[in-house]
Amino acid sequence: MDGAPTPATPQPPRRSRRGRVLLALAALILLPLAVLGIAVAVTWQQLPELDRLSDYRPREPLRIYTQDEVLIGEFGSERRRFVPLDEMPETLRQALLAVEDRDFWTHPGLDVSGIARAAWRNLTRSGPRQGASTITQQLARDTFLSKRQLWSRKFVELLLALKIERELSKRQILEIYMNQIFLGNRAYGFAAATERYFGKELAALNLAETALLVGLPKDPVRGDPVANLPRAKKRQAVVLGMLVDAGVVSQAQADAARDAPLSIRRPKRMSSMADHVAEMVRAEVLQRFGEEAYVRGLQVRTTLLSEEQRAAQAGLRRALFDLERRQSFRGAEAQLDLPAADDPQFDVVVDRAFDRHPDLGELRAALVLRAEAQRVQVLLGDGSEIDLGASALRTLAPLLRPGAKNALQRGSLLRLLNTAAEGKPAQWSLSQAPQAEGAVVTLDPASGAVRALVGGFDFARGQFNHATQAYRQPGSSFKPFIYSALIEQGGWSGTLVSDQPFEAGDWAPKNYDATYEDFLTLRQGIARSKNMVSIRIVEHLGVGRVRQWASQFGLEIERQPQNLTLALGTGAVTPLQMASAYSVFASGGLLRPVWLIESIVDQEGKTLYQAPPPSEPQRAISERNAFMTNQLLSAVMREGTGASGSALLKRWDLFGKTGTTNEAMDAWFAGFHPSRVGVVWIGYPQPRSLGARETGGGLALPVWAAAMQVALKGQPPASLSAPDGLVEQDGQWFYEELMGELAIERIGLPPPEEAASEAASDLLALQPGGSSASSASPASAASAASGN
């Protein structure tokens, strides 16, 4: 009806409406929690097992040691040295926790308030994301996850942290973290970083160094003190402030640490006293164990003796430096465009220069900062600035004149040597990198174990191993094999051999000293290293027989020439082969395999390889042949070209032979004592003359003596006993079946009845009562030696 009131719409009860609101609110709260709970449950089941932490085995590099446990090589992408928590300095532990995780000992693995702050900051502000990771979270991320800043990764990280806290103790977590965390420059863990940046043990850290290290986990790449020391110092100052706030140090201590100088070590190439050996071992271990060799913490013990190795390396370097001093100065090693000292690129250019031209042991790289007639100032790799002395200025004077070719200028790179005695103020002399190379090998003849091996001047300059890979002419050091072959056919120390000039077609060889006798005894021929004598012995025996005989010593027969030049050592051998060959003489005729690796153990001390007991050696020559050959080699060391070695070592029980090839392209010395064999070679990588006056006796022999001085320290005088099968007659030794008319009396000479009276008088000198150079002292014999 018109005008009648409209009935009101029924309204739901107020209580029912409020219930639905509450239900909706509950759903908004519970649903995300339910989803979160499901996500937690599902993700928890997918979390990795913690075996890598509960049974923690850090990825440690391959380490190589001498027999007396001196580290000579380390290989692996991660430099790490595990140190138990109890051995970590207390100040380092406190500082780390004060900076990275103050509530470490009390939280369950997460810093809830810190996470909330970081989340709010990341949601409301742009720029780099902020984190609030505890040490446990950092360990979880570094061990199992990537560092990409994703919410999903962070979620898994939180759960992993909780799981780690459930299964590991706090001490375990902290110990693993302090050994695991990346701290830049391939250093993992605080022990490795301390060694890398400061060259010291953890226990020697001071507060300034501790603060710098503790600041690295935040950003080890951009905070690298080697590449960016100012940035690292800023972070160090922040850390020191945090340590004061935490009550770890006082303000005065922090101020002193902030002002303390930091000596940061420049990254070093692999460099030690035995780089070439380390590389040999690395290749062998890699072949055995594959790429895992670099992360399993394998420790390889070699047969090297550290002091002997050091002596061999130092002796070779000294000889090469001495040879280089006799060469003319070649000028700057390199020329760089060096910006002004206040230019931001100055440090970059300098670092690049020293990376490309590193110090070569004691031979320091020096970058010229100022080049004037009266003053040359240089910068060393450690930051030292030096004014060169008068002697260096005299040498450089031609290069400092206006308009000089290859003029010395700012940015020129030179080489310096500190010639001051140890412990004295530095005295820098101008030098240059030797162009010649060399090698040294010493062996234990009783076992075949390598005791020292130097493969070249410096591994940084060239990885080619001249001890094992360089096939060079042995020159006169090959002659003992020739004499040994003659002894086997009836030769003896008094066999007379013509020393008159020899010609074959257009080949007219000469004696080194250009003097010739009518004839010489075998003893005289080898002591004086007469080429004519060796040639006539090979002609007498036949080239084929001598080549075959030399192969019994382990020398490669196919590398020895098939003509009479074999007598002058024109074949090809390596220094290691020569050391092994001479060990046959030292061991009474036995040839043993040469070996280098004694044992390999893993990081838990389990032995993975142990060198087997020495196998039965091969009989290369008879014991009596070795004895008679050694009598000749003793003459070399007493009155011949090796006499200076006896003088240097003040010993009579030495045997050896010098070697100098045609035009002095190779200088050798090969010698031994019954307990040690040593061989030294020096020459240019691309064969050319070392110098008209250079010889094996002058260049290589002093290196051999330096190594043997250490090797024979404490060794009593040795004497050789004549073996069975020999007969002594009038002081001379003979094979018992090759005496009298069966012994070889003369080679290249007319029969006795046609010999000149001079020959008869020389024969009388061999009888008892006759004069003999063997009675001379080592010093006087050295002065009379020809030195080749």
Give the catalytic positions in this structure. Answer: 100, 476
Q: In the chain, helix, strand, coil percent, each to 5? A: 45, 15, 40
DSSP annotation of 680 reads E
Q: In what order do the strands lie in the sheet with 450-454?
A: 450-454, 437-443, 676-683, 666-673, 655-660
Query: How many CA atoms lie within 13 Å of 41's alpha carbon, on the beta-carbon side?
Result: 6
Contact 509, 531 (CB under 8 A): yes
Both tokens of 60, joined, read 């440690």
Residue 450's DSSP bridge partners are 443
Q: How far is residue 109's CA from residue 174's CA, in Å, rounded to a whole number?
A: 12
Measured over the CA atoms of residue 641, residue 644, residue 649 and residue 653, the dihedral's sign is positive
Q: How far is residue 212's CA from residue 90's CA, in Å, rounded to a whole number?
A: 16
Q: How far is residue 197's CA from residue 489's CA, in Å, rounded to a whole number?
A: 65
Q: Which phi and psi (to 5°) does residue 77 adopt?
A: -75, -20
Both tokens of 529, joined, read 């290293």
Q: Estimate to the nearest angstrom the gap between the alpha carbon of 282 and the chain centroid.
A: 11
Q: What is the dihedral of CA 522, 788, 674, 273, to 10 degrees?
A: -160
Contact 576, 594 (CB under 8 A): yes
Closest residue by Cα to residue 138 from 80, 216, 77, 251 = 216
Q: How far apart are the first and last CA of the chain?
A: 144
The angle at the Cα of 519, spanning 517 to 525, to the nearest 5 degrees, equals: 90
Secondary structure of 262-306 in HEC code, one letter for each residue: CCCCCCCCCCCCCHHHHHHHHHHHHHHHHHHHHCECCEEEECCCH
Question: From residue 428, how far is each of 380, 385, 434, 460 by CA, in Å?
Answer: 11, 12, 17, 22
User: What does DSSP say about strands 590-591 and 618-619: parallel, antiparallel, or unpaired?
Assistant: antiparallel
Within 8 A by CB and 6+ apart from 18, the residues are none
